[in-house]
Amino acid sequence: MDRANVDMSVILPVVTKPSQCETINKVAKDVNDRYLPRLLSFGGIHPDNEDYREILKDLAESGIKGIKLHPLYQGVAIDDIRNLRIIDCACELGLIVVIHAGKDLSFPGDFADPVRISRMLDEVQPEKMVLAHMGSYARWEEVYKLLCGRGAYLDTSFSLNPIRPLNDTPEGWDSLAANPLLVSPLSRELFRKMVEKNGVDHMLFASDSPWGDQKETFELVDECLDESEKKAVYYGNALRLLELPDSIF
């Protein structure tokens, strides 16, 4: 964060099985108590948590700003009734809902593709929805056609970034090249079209750290924005969405 000149990072934990929910949310509350305004943690929930209403109510009453859903890690499609009811309840409580959108290099499947996301938006009509990875990783043309301008925020996490292997070795590069889910990064031209159609007031800077380096992501996004857009994308929209004052820093 210091190297990238980032003042605050939003932590987005993912609950991969229902039994993790209590511990993850306890840690999230502790992070906020100890590290705000440097770190701000969202809470987590699993689609199979039967007491989802109580969990979400507790998060809202504890001052947690939102939750993250990851249909691929959690194995439940975003338009499944289990996710729809969580999103609907979160909206009633004023919570932000961030979802992993699109493909994932490690998990094949279409649990969060633009068609499913569009169906979810039709069903629930959430006011505080953030679609990670510019709306749907590796499905950006569909995002432009189906999702841009629908009222959801798009974040810039791991979209413009080049993909590198975890191990910078010949074997690592060979393994990456053989990955059937490997795709090219989002082009600057399409990024610009998406910003213009979705509205700069519904764009958020995000890096997907540690998978995307914060400094590198900032430099890539910075090249794609006009000077008049940078304040909104880098922090103005986020402060408004998080309901935080400009003076927090």
207 in Cβ contact with 217 (< 8 Å): yes
Q: Which helix (H) or strand (E) holds 40?
A: strand 39-41
User: Strand 129-131 and strand 96-99: pairing?
Assistant: parallel
192 in Cβ contact with 184 (< 8 Å): no
Whether the pLDDT of residue 39 is over 90: the answer is yes
Q: Average per-residue pLDDT in the chain?
A: 96
pLDDT in tens, 56-114: 999 999 999 999 999 999 999 999 999 999 999 999 999 999 999 999 988 888 999 99
Domains and CATH numbers, the chain: 9-242 (3.20.20.140)
Candidate from 74-78, 178-182, 199-203, 215-219 with smallest mean pLDDT: 178-182
Q: Pick from 61, 64, 68, 60: which is nearest to 30 by CA?
A: 64
Whether the pTM exceeds 0.85: the reply is yes
Average pLDDT over residues 209-227: 96
pLDDT of residue 247: 87
pLDDT of residue 248: 85
When pLDDT is cut at 50, 70 and 90, the band that residue 34 belongs to is: very high
